[in-house]
Structures are given as structure tokens and as C-alpha cells.
Structure 1
Amino acid sequence: MARVAVVHNTLDLRGGADAVCLHACEALARNHDVTLVTLSHPPLSELDALFDTDAAGVDVVTPPAGRALGRVLAAAAPRVGPQLPARSALLDRLLARRRGEFDLVVSTANEFDVPGPSVQYVHYPQFRAAADDEGGLGNRLWSRLAVSDGLPDDARLLANSSYTAAAVERRYGRTPSVLHPPVDPIEGAAEWPDREDGVVILGRLAPDKRTLAALELVDRARERGADLSVHVVGTAAPAYREYAERVAAAVAERPHARLHRDASRAELERLLTSNKYGLSAKPGEHFGMAVAEYVAAGMVAFAPDSGGQRDVLDGDPDRLYGSPAEGATLLAAAVERGDRPRRARDRFRHERFHDRFRAVVRETLPDAARRRHTT
């Protein structure tokens, strides 16, 4: 049994990266002594209920002031953003002090310049080159502190999509293996004729998810004759409270729309399996967990023609749009034709992710730890 640290900058945002972290903890805890190292987090039992995982028994290590710092960053987030690189750089200091306690470090929060063997799952590179203006001065400052020139040679890199893998190659000159996140098929789906002619907009109520833009896209489809209802389903982290209030007001203005805020997993699955269409409005999504959930529920899914969502929808030109106007046209046309789902619902099931993640960790363990694991 190896001693494995799973490192994740914060679990407060309750997004797709956090789901990967919880699944990684569950997968590795079956064979290893796992410690979750994070800056701040809600009770793991809450996250297990949200992501349908079983990681609440994992030991957790946080900095002494981690929760207070997490609250400060969350309060400032509506003005300065969630500051994930800053959180990672601060967490890196804690990890450096305790690195000797672990045989292997597993990051589920992108890249770290951590000494010794590591597995690093990259949702998108969080640190930029010094000459790269993307992310502004603050990002470049944290990049200097956390990742100087590159990543350790013995870091095993994984990426959530081919889009992210290409971004890692551009930034670090190394191409990760692609391991799509876990998304299980959702059972109990209604027969297609019995489903509501409704659009589900799933995701954090946050500016980057462009929930308001998705609502406007459905408005355009309705103007083209598609008689669609809308269900906005999402969590409202403190960091995005102001945007969540704007979304709630926009939904209230539309008689055909309803907001399901902080819905339970059971309620989410009911909505996904009883409506026909799923919509994402965020361009350049690094993977697209919501779109994968639509596929898993047997829905007809639409997303911007960029990012990891192209992986999820196999580059389908009838489902990927380049502008809101095109998206509205595609959605209205699918409704008029009576299109049905085309994608396999089980392609991202969690067993595939767990098995591959455990294999990568086993292959990356130092020899001594591997021998302990096999004896």
C-alpha cells in the first residue's frame, strides 16, 4: 500500500475539476493510503452527494489558515475572479513541507512543480509563460512562484481532452495522454416521445459558463418557432453570488423558464432524463462535464464549436455552433426535424476512468512503493 497525496487547490467551487478529484480519491483509496491536500473544502460528504462518489473517508490536510483564506478569496472573487493559480501557489508551499511523507503526489488541479514522482491531471494549464499576457500580471506573478521554467521530467501528465492536451504541449513542450473525466450513464430515462420539449442549461451559475447567453440563445430558437421550455440547473458558489442573482432575475422574466438552484442529484437526473435537449454556451470549455451529462442522459446536446466539447460531441456539425445565431438555428432545426440522440450514453462511465487512473498511478510509483503495493 503506497502513501499517495491527492492535491487539489480548493473544493469550494463544486465544478467538474472537483468531481475528478473526488473520483480520483475514491479510485486510489481502494489500494492505497490516500491523503487529500487542499486549501479549503466543504464537508466531503456534501461533495460525495453532489458527484455520486465515495471519498468521505479520505484523510484531509489543509493549511492552518486555509479555511479563512478560502473565505477571503471567495468574498473577493466577484471582483478579481476565483484566483485558482494563487490558491495553487499557496498550496504548493504546504506540499513542499510535507512532500517526504508521500511516495507519490497526484494533482487533480493542473500542473505543479513538485519534486519526486507525480501524476498531474490537467484540466487546463493554470500557469502561463512569463511572456504570455493571458491572465494578466497576477497570473504571471503566481506562475513565477509556482512553476519556474517547466515541469519535472518524472511528472506523468494526463489531460481531460485533446484540446487541453494541445494547450499543455504549447506551454510546456510535452503532450499528455488524454483521459476524459468520469460521467456515468443516467438510468431511468423516459421514452423519447414522453420527454418534455425542454432545454436544460446545466452548470455553475458563473460568468464563465455564460448562463445568461444560453437563455438568450433559447429565446432566439423560440422566435424561430421552437416551442421550448427552459430549466436552468446549477449551484451558486459564494464566489459567483452576484451573477447568480442576475440569472435568477432573468429566469423570473421568462414564463417558460424555471431555475433549479442547488438541485439534488436525484432532481438533476430527473430533469436530464425527462427533457430532450441540453445546451452549453461557454466557448473553449476545457472538457464539458455538463455536455457529457447530457449525452449520458440520452439528450440531444448543443455546445460551442471549440474546446473539449468537440471531443464529447465527436465534432458533429449539427450540434456544434460558432455563434449564438447559429446555435439557435441548429436547435430550432433539431426540434423541427424531431432529431433523437446519436451518442453512446456509456462512453465516459466511471469504471473506465477509475481503472485507467489506478493503472497510471501504479506505473508511476517508485519501485519500493510498488513492491509494497504488490506484496
Structure 2
Amino acid sequence: MKRVLLVQPSLQPPGGGNGVAAWVLQALVPDHQVTVLSWRPVEIEPINRFFGTHLRPGDFNTLLVPRPWTYIPDRLPVPATLLKLALVMRYTRRVSDNFDVIFGVYNETDYGRRGIQYIHFPTYLRPRPAVDLRWYHWPAAGLELYYRLADRIAGFSMDRLRANLTLVNSNWTGAHVRRFLGVDTRTLYPPVVDPAPPPPWSERRNGFLAIGRISPEKEYERLMRILARVRAHHPDITLTIIGTWDRHTRAYFGELAALATSLGSWITIRQDLSRDAVRGLMAAHRYGIHGMREEHFGMAPAELMRAGQIVWVPRGGGQMEIVGEEPALMYDTDDDAVEKISTVLASPAEQSRLRELLAA
């Protein structure tokens, strides 16, 4: 039995990365003495409810970044994610000697010694993709100053980053990591929870699900526009959006809710559902759709596909691997999406072909 330090700023819902960390913890606790080092306290009940794990309080120990370190960052009006990661990294190096194995589930990290790092997308790859940028990342000079401050606090060594065993969530992410760090990677796809038993295809709702954090990069408004146009050919389809938002994305949720109301009652937005409730909805619907461009992996599309749905994703990112890079299921533009979705909905034979392909 190894003494394992699992490093993850938060395991709390929502977020695919937090879900991966929760399932890594679930996999480790039967055979190892695990301590979770985190920024946020670990609350087991919402983790189990949202991600489908079955963790218990006695399964692992916890270690929090000290309050004097977290007090100011937690009170900033912006997420300050990079600053918090820098402090987590620095604190990890203070305690790492007490453990046999260090396992970080939030991208590349300098633990002060060799460990395991699971990379969703490289934190220190700059400039950041446009999809990551928010209003508070401007002007560029201010962003560069923030980078320098966070990097100075982290005090990381690129050589130590490269020395870690590097796991990635997709081949697409692995290609970015190899170009950035110049190291070999192993693709380990995130775990997908078993779906609820699906009814026959003919009994499923002729509707779409879109699942994920309610956040601008998910582009739910784009999905609404696309499916509103598809309804011109298939007026019985519906869209259900399942997600969770926080204080940083509340305004975006308000915009989505207003748009949904303006488009009609065929759009429903549901929040904070249990894992069992989500599994039930996935089993009850025929189709899934995802909006984030260059999604690093895409837990939502993977879960929808596992539930037997036909799923469309933007052409780009690791999500293309989920749909087997099938051209009929990847779209570049709104027009492209409308045409491909409408074609499939009009053809039972094409639906059968795609269902067999995704189930393989």
C-alpha cells in the first residue's frame, strides 16, 4: 500500500476535470492510503451525487492549502485560476516528501520531485486559445503582468515538469503537450459512467440533450440557433440543456434563459440534477449536441454517446476522437451543422449506420 498524495484544486461539481479527479480518487482508495490536497474542502455527498462515485468519509485523508494562502485569491472578483494553481503547486512541494507517490490531476505541475501529471490542456501553453479568454484577460499588458506574478509565485522548473510521467485526456491534447514540453505522453481517456438501460430507439424522445457547465465557451446559444433552424425541417425536435453555473457565469445564464424563452417552449434548461436523473434523461433521448470548439476531450459527448445517442460535435479538439472522426457527426459552421443534422434526422437508415458506428 502506497502513500499517495492526490493534488487537485477542487473535486466539487461541476466540470469534467473535477469528475476525472473524483474517479481517480475512487480508483485509488481501495488499494492505497490516499490524501487529497485541494484548495476547496472536499464535500463527498455532492461529488457522489453529481459524478456517480461512491466515496465514503473514511476512504481518504484531506489536506487543504492553508487559509492565509487562500484568503486574498478567494476574494478577488475574478476566478484567478492560474494564481490559485501557482499556490497549490508551491504548497505541494512543501509536503511532497511525506508521500510515496504524487498524482496531480490538473495539468502539468512541478511537485519538487518526479510524479504523475494528468493533462487536460497545458496550463502554461501561451498564448491561450481564444476560447479561454474572458473580459478580465484584457489588456494584453495586464495579462502578461499577471502571468509573471503567478509564475513567480509558482516557482516551477520546466525540467521537473518534463520529468513527470505524463498522461493526457486525448491524442489531440497529447500532440499539444509534445510540441510544448517535448515529452512522450500516454493517452488515458477519462472514465465514462455506465448509462441507464435505454429503451428501444423507437421509444426514445425525438429530442436533443446538451450537457456541461453553463459557461460562455460551451456556446449554448449557438446550439439553440442551429436547432431552431433544424426545426424548420423537423418541427417536433426539442432541446434540453443540463448544466450548472456559478457567480462568474450568472450573467451568461441569464442571457441563455432569455434566448430560450424567445425561441419557444421547445427549449428547456435544467440545473443541478443528480447523476441518476442525468442518466435517465440520456437514456430517454435520441440525440446529443456539443458546442465548444476545440474541446480538449468532452465528457458530455462521451457520456451521451455511451448512452446510445447520436452525437454531433464541432470539428476540432479531442471530441473528434469520441465520434470516431465521422464526417457526418462533425460540423464547422452553423450551416454545416444544420445540413448534417437535418440529413440524419430524415434518414432512418443513416441513423442506424451511425448508431452502429458509435456503439462499436
Query: Smaller-chain TM-score range?
Result: 0.7 to 0.9
Q: Does 1:305 align with 2:315?
A: yes
Q: Does 1:336 align with 2:338?
A: no
The one-letter amino acid of 2:62's match is V
Change (3 A) 1:46 1:68: farther
The one-letter amino acid of 2:63's match is V
Return the TM-score normalized by structure 2: 0.87
Task: For residue 250 of structure 1, give the secondary structure of its aligned residue in structure 2.
Answer: helix
Q: Residues of 1 paired with 2:10 and 2:291: CA distance?
A: 25
CA contact (8 A) 1:12 1:237 kept: no
1:284 matched residue in structure 2: 294
Offset of 1:128 from its aligned partner?
A: 2.8
1:128 matched residue in structure 2: 125
1:46-96 deviation line (CA, Å, top 9, x unaligned): 1111101133432221123277557435xx24xxxx333222101112112
The one-letter amino acid of 2:203's match is D
Offset of 1:153 from its aligned partner?
A: 4.8
Q: Residues of 1 paired with 2:212 and 2:189: CA distance?
A: 18
1:248-300 deviation line (CA, Å, top 9, x unaligned): 22222321111111112222112111111100010100001010011111000
Return the TM-score normalized by structure 1: 0.84
Matches within 5 A, 1:221-300: 221-225=230-234, 227-253=236-262, 254-300=264-310
Q: Residues of 2 paired with 1:8 and 1:102: CA distance?
A: 16
Unaligned ranges ≥5, structure 2 = 134-142
CA contact (8 A) 1:161 1:180 kept: yes
Q: Does 1:316 align with 2:326?
A: yes
1:358 matched residue in structure 2: none
Q: Residues of 1 paired with 2:105 and 2:99: CA distance?
A: 16
Percent identity of equivalent pairs:
25
The one-letter amino acid of 2:179's match is R
For 1:162, which of 156, 159, 171 is the aligned residue?
A: 171
The structure, 1 or 2, with the larger RCO (C-alpha pairs under 8 Å, 6+ apart) is 1
Offset of 1:13 from its aligned partner?
A: 5.5
Change (3 A) 1:133 1:258: closer
2:15 matched residue in structure 1: 15
Change (3 A) 1:317 1:40: same
CA contact (8 A) 1:200 1:233 kept: yes
The one-letter amino acid of 1:328's match is V
Offset of 1:215 from its aligned partner?
A: 1.2
1:212 matched residue in structure 2: 221
Q: Residues of 1 paired with 2:44 and 2:81: CA distance?
A: 20
1:283-332 deviation line (CA, Å, top 9, x unaligned): 10000101001111100000001101111011000001111221121111
Change (3 A) 1:13 1:186: closer
CA contact (8 A) 1:127 1:143 kept: no
Matches within 5 A, 1:31-110: 31-41=31-41, 43-57=43-57, 58-65=60-67, 68=71, 71-73=74-76, 76-77=77-78, 82-110=79-107
CA contact (8 A) 1:128 1:139 kept: no
Change (3 A) 1:153 1:168: closer
